[in-house]
Structure 1
């Protein structure tokens, strides 16, 4: 597969294909192959926020009062999230290089920018509550911890296969793992921070996470649509072998996510690990439905973690009460001192 040409006036403005199609490179949002993607683009733009405008002053006071398991989990989960979000900026840009539909290129550019903000936010929250040495250890965690390395093994494999061998099939596999990232892998980490917020702990961090969560919901929605559209345009790939592969990746990913959550959340007050396992399976079902596939955990079609609904159960894109509440609390602070003048 060749990279899309930047400009080719011999081709029509409306692309003839998402990948391997023909397009002039000129984007007219009123004449695109998938018109509803303009709404997704606008929703993504509407989610604009900056990490250093979230006030962290209360978190600075509270971090030292967290239990030792809570402190450890806080640092490990931030390490996990950074490990997942850091490659997403590059992956979105790489996908856009091969997309021959300019609307996809533009949407992926916005997603890439938002993923860069997410990664910045992890540095920001850590710089607010721990020393530079502890910050660096947290970011090292993603490449040194055995459980996390095992958990991320397939992400490394399939993302790098796309880089080394850019084919349509490898793009579909990359989209599958991007869907898993956006819709499943983040959620035990999100649950940890939302659980702290339930007890009025580290609310600044949970506010930041809520903005990231809102972005990821939109990313997951678009990537799943891109997956379905790519298979529709390439029916030879829409076969039992590939779909079986997708199901296998979801099952294996769920097992790794359960193992990870049992490891990092085992001593956290307020989180029931059996409920967490059910929630992971529930999220897998939800993302499979978005991909146009069948559920694989029929006993988990409902969310077993009822309390988290106000925080993270918002796949339809409608703002929850939680996001409305946090939006009212989104007060800019001085980027230099993270709001430390309020101490």
Structure 2
């Protein structure tokens, strides 16, 4: 198939096609899922990992955070609210994007994974409502969920991703599909991270620990989502007549711009206002994370000088290892290790 060929939506069922698909896009598949007869060997282990991460917001007791939120400084409350508003927008759009992607995947195991992913995004989005309903009144919650429409810095960041998504939705080809995945990895693998760092910095000072625990659960899910999309990206590159050098150039160029926008957002929302995170550290951290994601997509690092995590303390919050308690022993749970990508300190 050529890069400019239009993608066809998956049929509901195809009786004369094999259960294991013949290809990831525009392939032949009965659309019947047999986990012991699938095309991609990594699909089932990833499915099990996603299931092992299952959680709901109602598990988190917000009573301590309710008291501490009122004690936060004005700048801290403002950053807290705007970051929650950003996350709510991103995960809302991400739910729909996952369903759009699933429509064109002609492998039933990948469709199933995308369905689980979309469900997890719904849980994430509901968790933001849960946090806010525990801390502020309904009027303030509604205001926070409107930030994405009016905040200029936030709009610029979001529109960068949305343009990439809409290019695929409006013209579904292997090339626009692949490019939208790059934007997805930006969204799930980079755009959350300055905001996450704000919550983790509060947690390491024993503040807003319940919210940060919830963010930690979301973080683990997003790492798996990035893992899934990078594997889909690799499968599309391998199966289609795409210019690999051009694809790699697009990845590098996109992440350079994404990092620029994320750094701008980090300075705007965090800056040097909160002890424990400096602008220079956050800038370097964003570039470091960008390098990780670009590596996962098989391209060259856009920031080769940033190979070491400048905020190593954050590792404790980015992953929960099997058999260990959540940070500060808030509650003990058993989790499967997410992937080899967890807790990078060096490249």
Scaled by the length of structure 1, the TM-score of the pair is: 0.92
Shift of 1:326: 5.4
Shift of 1:227: 0.5
Match of 1:62 in 2: 68
Match of 2:218 in 1: 212
Whether 2:255 is the aligned partner of 1:250: answer: yes
Alignment of 1:42-81 (within 5 A): 42-81=48-87
Distance 1:105 1:5, change over 3 A: same
For structure 1, the residue ranges without an aligned partner over 5 or more in a row are 331-343
Q: Distance in 2 between matches of 1:184 and 1:252?
A: 12
Shift of 1:242: 2.8
Match of 2:342 in 1: none
Larger helix fraction of residues: 1
Runs of 4+ deviating beyond 2 Å: 238-243, 317-330
Match of 1:259 in 2: 264
Contact 1:311 1:322 in 2 (8 A): no
Paired residue secondary structure (1:328): coil
Q: 2:123 aligns with which of 109, 114, 117?
A: 117
Contact 1:15 1:21 in 2 (8 A): yes
Paired residue secondary structure (2:19): coil
Distance 1:324 1:305, change over 3 A: closer
Q: 2:284 aligns with which of 278, 300, 323?
A: 278
Q: Calculate the aligned-residue CA RMSD, in Å.
A: 1.6
Shift of 1:318: 4.8
Count of aligned positions: 326
Contact 1:41 1:107 in 2 (8 A): yes
Q: Distance in 1 between matches of 2:42 and 2:176?
A: 26
Paired residue secondary structure (2:103): helix
State the Cα deviation string for residues 112-171 of structure 1 (Å, max 9, x = none): 000000000011101100111111111111121000111112211111122211111111
Structure number with higher relative contact order (C-alpha < 8 Å, ≥ 6 residues apart): 1
Q: Distance in 1 between matches of 2:71 and 2:215?
A: 20
Moved more, 319-328 or 162-171: 319-328
Distance 1:252 1:320, change over 3 A: farther
Q: 2:33 aligns with which of 27, 35, 45?
A: 27
Q: Distance in 1 between matches of 2:332 and 2:41?
A: 35
Match of 2:338 in 1: none
Match of 2:331 in 1: 328
Contact 1:13 1:28 in 2 (8 A): yes
Q: 1:86 aligns with which of 81, 88, 92?
A: 92
Distance 1:297 1:323, change over 3 A: farther
